[in-house]
Structure 1
Amino acid sequence: MKKRKVKLVVISDVHLGTFGCHAKELLNYLSSIKPEILVLNGDIIDIWQFRKSYFPKTHLKVVQKIISFATKGTKVYYITGNHDEMLRKFSDISMGNFALQDKLVLELEDEKAWIFHGDVFDASVQHAKWIAKLGGFGYDYLILINRFINWCLLKIGKEPYSFSKKIKASVKKAVKHISDFETTATELAIEKRYDYVICGHIHEPKIIRKENKNGSTMYLNSGDWVENLTALEYNRKRWKLYRYSDYNYTEEENFFEMEDLLLSNPLIASLIFSSKNKSL
């Protein structure tokens, strides 16, 4: 496969180690590019929800691919997020082409990019962490159920459906939270004279110019690899929002992938085996 050369790639909210992670798709994407700089902008490994019983080979291959980038000359920055906040005790450590940091400022052709995960602006994370963690578990199970339903929809020729996007769109507080997040990030970026402010955290991919009476900046959000499957790419002063769209799996691959997801969950597995026994 011929790899695309990219100056800078930013990905975030991969959530390796959870049911919702699209590690296979991410691995396909990473295998198709040759970046000079790779920024992992938080929540790459979901330490909050990490379980020994669920870390598939594809998730491990993503980690191996990232290490491979660093060994082959790509500068890799791992920016800590709330789901991998345990790594913050090791912040500012560098090993060869790999650096672990809480935030980052990059010089991009005479322009400055301010990069951080964004959980610092989230009150639920800062002041009620147990609620945020509980919500994370619920979200993971919602994504698991949603993937199973979408698998069924694809089998009958229907379009996939996103429960979480529908819920977010219908809840005014969620919309206001996203708006407040963007406003806070951009106002600080304008105050600090940054040309770009790049975040993750809220799973809302976006590129938009923001202005106020003090100036303007470009707000960018890399989205996630749970629902949106997006990344930010930068080349020659131009930003692009990359969206993964290759869902052409065979029925057999879909079946075994979904079966592994379901049976790796003890509660769902017990329900499946219980229903099978009753039918015998």
Structure 2
Amino acid sequence: MKKRKIELAVISDVHLGTYGCHADELIAYLNSIQPKKLVLNGDIIDIWQFKKRFFPASHLKVLKKVIGMASKGTEVYYITGNHDEMLRKFSDTSMGNFKISNKLVLNLDGKKAWIFHGDVFDVSIQNAKWLAKLGGYGYDMLILINSVVNWCLLKMGREKYSLSKRIKNSVKSAVKYINNFENVAAELAIENDYDYVICGHIHQPKKERFENKNGSTLYLNSGDWVENLTALEYSFKRWRIYHYNHDKLSPFFVDEDLKEMDMNDLIASITDKEVDAEDVPHFPEGVEEKPSTEKDHETL
């Protein structure tokens, strides 16, 4: 099957290195498209939770896939988020088609798109980072429990259920936070004459036009690859939210050249170094890997 050619794809909140990450599904999606530009809008690698030493081969394949896309001509922009904030020291670094920045402004058919992760609006991260990190661990554990619940539901012939979505939708403070986040992002975009404002961070895919007395802007959120499995796509002057669960991507599930690669081969292909077996990340006891199923940028 031919790959879909699109102008721009935006993904965020992949959280590589956590139990909730759907790396195989993301590889399937990336295999199905041929974008001119790919924006990784923060929290791609979850550096906050690296101490668990959980980084299966499928997560490494995502990194290899992105690097491969850059080497074949796709412009890849890595925008830093809160879970990968350690990469902010490399902001404005450029390696061929791969660029790291804290925010990005793109000209899309004569309209300005303002792209950033969104954690700058999160008071808990700005003033109580330890609390935000604790919440991150709790969220990852909730996703792990949810995967067991969903396994049982599927065995009983019932549909999957999202515990975290249920909690967020039922807690008034969470709903209020999400609404405030979207309103602030939109108002700042209007104030600065941006036609589009594109965020991640809150794991809520959305496309909505915001207006006030000063003008209007199109607010877009790419969602995540933990629960929603969504991305943003721009082509023919139009935006759309892509939902993996609504698509059929089995022909693209795995690159042929990745099928037979083991962990050592994958690390070597990315770092150009030989790796000793004892240095390869392993799973905690009792945990198994999921089966494979132009531009201006400045510091925010």
- TM-score with structure 1 setting the length: 0.88
CA-to-partner distance for each residue in 1:139-173, whole Å, 9 max, x for gaps?
00100110111011111110000000000011000
Per-residue deviation, residues 173-219 of structure 1 (Å, max 9, x unmatched): 00000011011101100000000000000000000000011100000
Match in the other structure for 1:137 = 137
1:21 counterpart residue number: 21
Structure 1 CA distance for aligned equivalents of residues 102 and 53 of structure 2: 29
May I ask how many residue pairs the two structures share in their alignment? 255
- Residue matched to 1:222: 222
Contact 1:203 1:224 in 2 (8 A): yes
Aligned-residue offset at 1:247 = 8.9
Equivalent residue of 1:159, what SS?
A: coil
The correspondence of residues 11-50 of structure 1 with structure 2, limited to 5 A, is 11-50=11-50
CA contact (8 A) 2:13 2:223 kept: yes
Find the aligned partners of 2:237 and 2:49 in 1 and give their Cα distance: 37
For residue 168 of structure 1, what is the aligned residue in structure 2?
A: 168
Where 2:187 maps in the other structure, the secondary structure is helix
For structure 2, the 5+ residue unaligned runs are 251-281, 288-300
C-alpha displacement of 1:51: 3.4
Question: What is residue 73 of structure 1 aligned with on the other side?
Answer: 73
- Distance change (3 Å), C-alpha of 1:247 and 1:154: farther
Counterpart for residue 205 of structure 2 = 205
For 2:51, the equivalent position in structure 1 comes to 51
* CA–CA separation in structure 2 for the residues paired with 1:119 and 1:53: 25
Which residue does 1:157 correspond to in 2? 157
SS in 2 for 1:218: strand
CA distance in 1, matches of 2:164, 2:130: 20
Whether the 8 Å CA contact 1:13–1:44 is kept in 2: the answer is: yes
Aligned to 2:103: 103
Q: Is the 8 A contact 1:17 1:51 kept in 2?
A: no
**Residue 193 of structure 1 aligns with which residue?**
193
Instruction: Report the Cα distance in structure 2 between the residues aligned to 1:143 and 1:2, rounded to whole angstroms.
Output: 34
d(CA) in 1 for partners of 2:57, 2:161: 27
Matched position secondary structure for 2:144: helix
Q: Distance in 1 between matches of 2:160 and 2:192?
A: 42
- Structure 1 contact 77–101 (Cα < 8 Å) conserved: yes
Quick one: higher RCO (CA 8 Å, sep 6+), 1 or 2? 2
Which residue pairs with 1:122 in the alignment?
122
Kindly provide the amino acid, as one letter, of the partner of residue 109 in structure 1: D
Per the alignment, in what secondary structure is the counterpart of residue 49 of structure 1?
helix
TM-score for both structures, normalised by structure 2: 0.83
SS in 1 for 2:62: helix
Deviation at 1:52, TM superposition (A): 5.6
CA distance in 2: counterparts of 1:40 and 1:3, whole angstroms: 20
- How many Å separate the matches in 2 of 1:65 and 1:248? 16
- In the alignment, what sits opposite 1:275? none
Aligned-pair identity in percent equals 70
The RMSD of aligned alpha carbons is 1.6
